[in-house]
Amino acid sequence: MDYNNLATVFRTLALEAGALIMEIYEAGEIDVRSKDDSSPVTAADEAADKHISAGLRKAFPDVALVTEEQSDSHTQDVSTFLIVDPLDGTKEFIKRRGEFTVNIALVENGVPTRGVVYAPAKNRMFYTDAAGNSVEEDGPFDTQTVGQTRAMKVTQPDNDSLVVVASKSHRDQATDDYIGKYAVKDMTSAGSSLKFCLVAAGEADIYPRLGRTMEWDTAAGHAVLAGAGGQVVRFDTHEPLTYGKPIFENPFFIAYAPGVDLKHPE
């Protein structure tokens, strides 16, 4: 794999898809439909998916591609593949909260190794460079020229004073009960895969997710967190979260900065 080319293609496609999304976001009323699993989908999801898919297939024709909007057609026996959520946080998009992202990742042998997370309404972009190290690029962004970048590094956590980030749209009592096991200094909430990026940037120590997610929801954020020194493990066993699972569905998981004293579920 040419990781230099991969980083360039990921960044460019994320920016281009973000521009397509923002055109619809800013145009007026958003038409919302329901998919077979009752989750919402919009024209922005579909436009971004079409654009990213075409770009990845052209650039990497020999690598399997998995995307949320085409998930029904994907093979289930891959361990190395490209994986895309063209608009992660559709509910945030519909509510115009701004906390939605474009997610593109490479999974190699079941492990997310490269990824980009772009939040066009927040003007924040996080990605792994060619070496697999995570950076945040300062905007305004240009597809032809890379701006100023800053290395990302997870915090050194203080277990007596942790910062926890949780889902904005999927917070529940089970999550609150688990968070209650920790000594929490501050709580924050965020939509989409931005939660991984807050841990990667040292703005939070731990992100527990006790709810259904799919691999396209998490792979890019997982790669960015790993490239900043963080980890993602299964909630039940604390073993590393792997990819290429049946129907690309995740178990509950915990994303965190090493040094956090992880608590086991009851």
The reply to whether 190 and 123 lie within a common domain is no
Give the containing element (helix H, strand E) for 81.
Answer: strand 81-88
Is 217 annotated as belonging to a binding site?
Answer: yes
The reply to whether 244 and 112 lie within a common domain is no
The reply to whether 123 and 248 lie within a common domain is no
The reply to whether 20 and 69 lie within a common domain is yes
The reply to whether 62 and 137 lie within a common domain is yes
CATH number, position 231? 3.40.190.80
Residue 225, domain extent: 162-256
Profile the chain (266 residues) by mean pLDDT over runs of 10 residues.
97 98 89 76 92 97 91 72 94 90 98 98 97 96 95 98 86 90 94 93 96 95 98 97 94 98 89
The reply to whether 146 and 182 lie within a common domain is no
Determine, yes or no, domain membership for 261.
no
The reply to whether 115 and 230 lie within a common domain is no
Is 2 annotated as belonging to a binding site?
Answer: no
Is 87 annotated as belonging to a binding site?
Answer: yes
pLDDT, residue 245, reads 93
Q: How much is the pTM?
A: 0.94
Determine, yes or no, domain membership for 240.
yes
Q: Which of the listed residues 151, 180, 211 is the one where a domain comes to its end?
A: 151
Determine, yes or no, domain membership for 266.
no
Instruction: Give first-to-last CA distance, the chain, whole Å.
Output: 42
pLDDT, residue 73, reads 58
Is 68 annotated as belonging to a binding site?
Answer: yes
Contact partners, residue 194, CB within 8 Å, separation at least 6: 89, 99, 101, 117, 119, 122, 124, 221
The reply to whether 146 and 173 lie within a common domain is no
pLDDT, residue 76, reads 64
The reply to whether 48 and 172 lie within a common domain is no
The reply to whether 130 and 17 lie within a common domain is yes
Cis omega (within 30 of 0) for bond into 240: no
Is 145 annotated as belonging to a binding site?
Answer: no
Determine, yes or no, domain membership for 90.
yes
Determine, yes or no, domain membership for 61.
yes
Give the containing element (helix H, strand E) for 151.
Answer: strand 149-151
The reply to whether 176 and 79 lie within a common domain is no
Q: Are strands 81-88 and 64-67 parallel, antiparallel or unpaired?
A: parallel
C-alpha distances (whole Å) from 260 to each of 111, 186, 220, 225, 230 are 22, 15, 22, 15, 10
Is 88 annotated as belonging to a binding site?
Answer: yes
Chain centroid to Cα 172, Å, comes to 20
CATH number, position 102? 3.30.540.10
pLDDT, residue 32, reads 82
Q: Which of the listed residues 151, 172, 192 is the one where a domain comes to its end?
A: 151
SS3 41: strand
Contact partners, residue 16, CB within 8 Å, separation at least 6: 51, 55, 143
Q: Which of the listed residues 96, 119, 151 is the one where a domain comes to its end?
A: 151
Number of domains in the chain: 2
